[in-house]
Chains A and B, each alone.
Chain A
Amino acid sequence: MTEGHSEPETEPNTTTDTETMTDDADDELKTHTAGFESPPTGETIIEAEDVNVWYDDDRALEDISMAVPEHNVTAIIGPSGCGKSTFLRCINRMNDLIDDARVDGTLRLAGKDVYDADVDPVALRRRVGMVFQKPNPFPKSIYDNVTYGLEMQGIDGDYDAIVEDALREAALWDEVSDQLHESGLELSGGQQQRLCIARAIAPDPEVLLMDEPASALDPVATSQIEDLIADLAEEYTVVIVTHNMQQAARISDKTAVFLTGGKLVEFDDTQKIFENPEHQRVEDYITGKFG
């Protein structure tokens, strides 16, 4: 079957990231989180209650309960294989595409359980945009990539203006405004990922899910994407999976730490997690003792 899906948990640069962490974890984190202001408290938009996911008989997530506030950046961090991507894919029901995946528990988006029988996963995904680990623009022009969601969702409007807005928001407009009708595959990796972000926000979703959006990019492109995410949080609720703890510290308001076995160990303000975590295991992970 074509939906056979490989869990994107085997990131090539896992080692690189953890190595940097072990070197100067403490100093780095202090500087980045210094002067961190208390995050704005928004209404809860995504609320998970005892969410469990099984792949066949393997339990990928165990009783996850957390509440993601609106117009915030919520980071999910954890070692490889801890189920953070799986949780992200529960939110827009991308796990439905995997034949042997099974979800139970309650996961509410704006108060409505997305796993209710009357929820159409296609309609759900129109409210929840997604950006993937590897840039995956369609083999179409830049313009057609951005309008893809609009056309599929039957949204009418001034496409030229929407494309320009989306590309501006994704900080890509200045680089591509004169080549809108050339293939999106001709862009560099970082530009492709910003194109994917523009594509995801063009239909104006409520929530933007990002599955390690910068892990396949070089440091310059990564920092561009990070700046962008901070801006995006003004309009959208961003949930980002990352295994780069500095990245989580830099860009997120709230952080959830998943540890091996698909358990959510701690979920709190980012500042709290990085400066004064409740659990010893979280502290060990953050300071690079394992993971």
Chain B
Amino acid sequence: MATEHADTTTAVSRTRGVVFRYVLLVATLSALASLGLLLANVAVDAFDPLSADPSWYLIYLCTLVVPSLLVGWGLRRHELLVGGIEALFVPIGGLFGAGALFLLFEVIPFNVWFAWAVGIAVPAAIWLLTTIAGTSGRVRAGLTLGVGAVALIGLPLPGVSTTGAVGLLTMGVPAYIQRRVYTIPNYYLTYLLTLAVPIALLVGHQLRKRVSFTAGLTGTGLVVIASLAVLFQTVVYTYVALVLVLLVLVPTAWYCYTQWHDHPADRLQFAFPVTVLIGAGLGRIAVWVLSISGPNSWVDLQFLQDAPTRYAESAGLNPALVGSLLLMVVVIATSFPLGVGAAVYLEEYAPDNGFTRLIQLNISNLAGVPSVVYGLLGLGLFINLGGMSGESISLFGQTITLQGMPTGSVLVGGMAISLLILPIVIISSQEAIRSVPESLRQASFGMGATRWQTVKHVVLPRSVPGILTGTILAVGRAVGETAPLIMVLAASYSSSPPAGLLDKATALPLQVYSWAFEPDPAFRHGVLAAGVVVMIVVLLVINSIAIIVRNKYEAKQQ
């Protein structure tokens, strides 16, 4: 500058900055707009909103939308809206839980569930009794583990009778019940024993801690009465009603009770969920009384319950939904321990040398390998055993014919997807572990803790939210993967859900893909879009779980 003190009133040019800012804005908006258009297109195809009577929209606008908006806007000004929306999420979460439970029984035979529930009740009771008696931690753990092992697995005494009390002791409770007890209680009784009793006790215990013993007793009594009351209704099956009461009604009531009790100043927040519920109810009644038809949506209960058929109207994706959920179970069970284990080793134990850096570099690169390659790897590794499948080898004088895993099974598909997300799990877990402040490790070592103690008591507790968030998001990605499943020859069409981990299964993205080539346009538009909506909802649920887990743990850390 020529002048020493420039005239301070002359504006400095910001043209380029302003242009840059608006270019960024346009980029953001166009990305959002294209995504929004795509989703809107899918939603229109899936829900077919134009098929509804216009008065259907009018009724819901008057009873549900307008009152909710008004109440919501009023509460928002007093910052009471968020709590109310949270309250709505509890029953929705409960409904998802109930759905997952019913899906679980598509896979686990009912008598197996009952037998194991009774078996697990034995160590649980021991633990409860020793806690009440005030036994020391080690004795309690020893007793629970010891009795639990005998109760669940039994004592391996060969050649002893398998009947009566001796049989019970040698086989363990679950095996004994499955083999010797021929009358299995019906669905309702099983849920009552395995779900209602623990929930009633839990509610009672919490209430006793918060208020008093009498209150605890009342709470337990109320849950029991509600569980028995479902016997006197005829709208749905009693066991369905029971599960809804236990997983939807009880948690909602508990949430409302605690909020009402703990935040007396915020009681007005219930106005929003109450408005929504009453509005939805009124709208439903009005539509029913006036017999107005709503939109002819492709996404409905039948779509979730039925198997795919040749007719678009009756098509469903139940086998694919069950397949995807089972795949997720396998993915979590294999990638979580391996990934977190590798991350802990690399961050806490591995020396900082060239070899470690080489591994680190390779993990980062593996995260970017195309998914079809992982499918090939899964095919080559698990099914063909690297070309060894079908060959005979001689081991300790025995000839063994190597046999790869069955093609396209849930297990192989899940393991192939695990390979795919393993690098992501490792990297995100490493990030989480690295974010633990060094000063905490120093503090722990300074207290004379070993490295293992430091990892267990300081590093892992502190990094769990990050590890879980990363893992759950990776699993969310896995749900949408198609290529590895195609490579391990998973079925793209299946008329029944897999009954076990070695069954051939299909998955949501494969099912959606196969619908895209049906000649009937109703498939290519309606059914396909409905499948996409279900997949997006599954993804959103998984991501919400990640967010909830993170928030919960972060709140706990402070």
| Residues in chain A within 8 A of chain B (CB atoms) | 1-6, 92, 94, 97, 99, 122-127, 129-130, 132, 134, 136-139, 148-149, 151-153, 183, 185-186, 196, 199-200, 203
Q: Which residues of A are found within 8 Å of B109, using beta-carbon distances?
A: none
- Chain B 421-470 interface residues, beta-carbon cutoff 8 Å to A: 433-434, 437-450, 453, 457-458, 461-462
> Once bound together, how far apart are the Cα atoms of A129 and B352, in whole Å?
28
Closest to A6 in B: B438
| Nearest B-chain residue to A199, judged by Cβ | B447
Which residues B70-104 have CB closer than 8 A to chain A?
none
Chain A residues, CB < 8 A from B350: 1
A203 x B352 contact (CB < 8 A): no
Residue B557 at the A interface, CB < 8 A?
yes
Q: Nearest CB to that of B446 among chain A residues?
A: A130
Which 3 pairs from chain A and chain B are nearest by CB?
A126-B448, A1-B352, A130-B446
Q: How far is the CB of B95 from chain A (nearest CB, A)?
A: 35
For the complex, give the distance between the alpha carbons of A136 and B558 in Å.
14
B347 to chain A, nearest CB (A): 5
**Chain B's nearest CB lies how many Å from the CB of A137?**
8
* Given A2-B347, A2-B441: A152 in contact with B446 (beta carbons within 8 A): no
* Interface, chain B (partner A; CB < 8 A): 347-348, 350-352, 433-434, 437-450, 453, 457-458, 461-462, 557-558
Contact of A148 among B352, B439, B441, B457 (CB under 8 A): B457
What residues of A have a CB within 8 angstroms of the CB of B351 in the complex? 1, 99
Note all chain B residues with C-beta closer than 8 A to A196.
443
- Of the A-B pairs whose beta carbons lie under 8 Å apart in the complex, a sample of 20, sorted by A's number, is A1-B350, A5-B438, A6-B438, A94-B445, A94-B446, A97-B442, A99-B352, A122-B450, A125-B446, A125-B447, A125-B448, A126-B448, A130-B447, A139-B440, A148-B444, A148-B449, A149-B448, A152-B444, A153-B447, A153-B448
Q: Is there contact, CB below 8 Å, between A149 and B439?
A: no
Please determine whether B449 and A152 come into contact, CB atoms closer than 8 angstroms.
yes
How long is the Cα–Cα vector from A5 to B352 in the complex, in angstroms? 13
Cα distance A3–B445 in the bound complex, in angstroms: 11
Contact check, A125 vs B445: say whether CB atoms are below 8 A apart: yes
Q: Which A residues are CB-close (under 8 A) to B442?
A: 5, 94, 97, 132, 136
A94-B442, A152-B450, A153-B448 given. 15 additional CB < 8 A pairs? A1-B350, A2-B347, A2-B348, A2-B434, A5-B438, A99-B352, A125-B446, A132-B446, A137-B443, A139-B440, A139-B461, A139-B462, A149-B449, A152-B447, A183-B557
* Shortest CB distance A127–B (Å): 8
Q: Do B457 and A183 touch (CB < 8 A)? A: no
Given A99-B352, A152-B457, A183-B558, decide whether A136 and B445 contact each other with a Cβ distance below 8 A.
Answer: no
A203–B441 contact, CB under 8 A?
A: no
CB distance from A184 to the nearest CB of B (A): 11
User: Measured between C-beta atoms, what is the minimum distance from B464 to chain A in Å?
Assistant: 11
| Residue ID in chain B nearest A126 by CB atoms | B448
Distance (whole angstroms) from the CB of A86 to the closest CB of chain B: 14
Q: B434 — which chain A residues lie within 8 A by C-beta? A: 2
Q: Determine the chain B residues whose CB is within 8 A of the CB of A151 once the complex forms.
A: 457
Contact of A203 with B558 at beta-carbon distance under 8 Å, contacts A136-B439, A138-B440 already known:
no
- Known A136-B443, A183-B558: A122·B449 in contact at CB below 8 Å: yes
Evaluate contact between B557 and A134: CB separation under 8 angstroms: no
Given contacts A136-B439, A138-B440, contact A97 B448 (CB under 8 A): no
Cα–Cα distance between A5 and B441 once the two chains are bound (Å): 11
Distance between B358 CB and nearest chain A CB, rounded to angstroms: 15
Please indicate the chain A residues that have their CB under 8 angstroms from the CB of B453 in the complex: 152
Q: Which B residues lie within 8 Å of A185 (CB)?
A: 557-558
Instruction: Contact check, A138 vs B443: say whether CB atoms are below 8 A apart.
Output: yes
List of A residues within 8 angstroms of B439 by Cβ: 132, 134, 136
CB–CB B558/A129 < 8 A: no
* Chain A, residue nearest B439 (CB): A136
Residue of B nearest to A151 (CB): B457
> A4 to chain B: which residues have CB within 8 Å?
352, 438
Which residues of A are found within 8 Å of B443, using beta-carbon distances?
132, 136-138, 196, 199
Closest partner residue, chain A, to B347 (CB atom): A2
Q: Do A148 and B447 form a contact, CB below 8 Å, given A2-B347, A2-B441?
A: yes
Beta-carbon contact of A138 and B458 below 8 Å: yes
**Which residues does chain A contribute within 8 Å of B440, judged by CB atoms?**
136, 138-139
> Which chain B positions have C-beta within 8 A of A152?
444, 447-450, 453, 457
Q: How far is the CB of B266 from chain A (nearest CB, A)?
A: 23
Contact residues in A for B433 (Cβ distance below 8 Å):
2
Among A4, A6, A149, chain B packs the most CB atoms within 10 A around the CB of A149
A138: chain B residues at CB < 8 Å are: 440, 443-444, 457-458
Which A-chain residue is minimally distant from B443 (CB atoms)?
Answer: A136
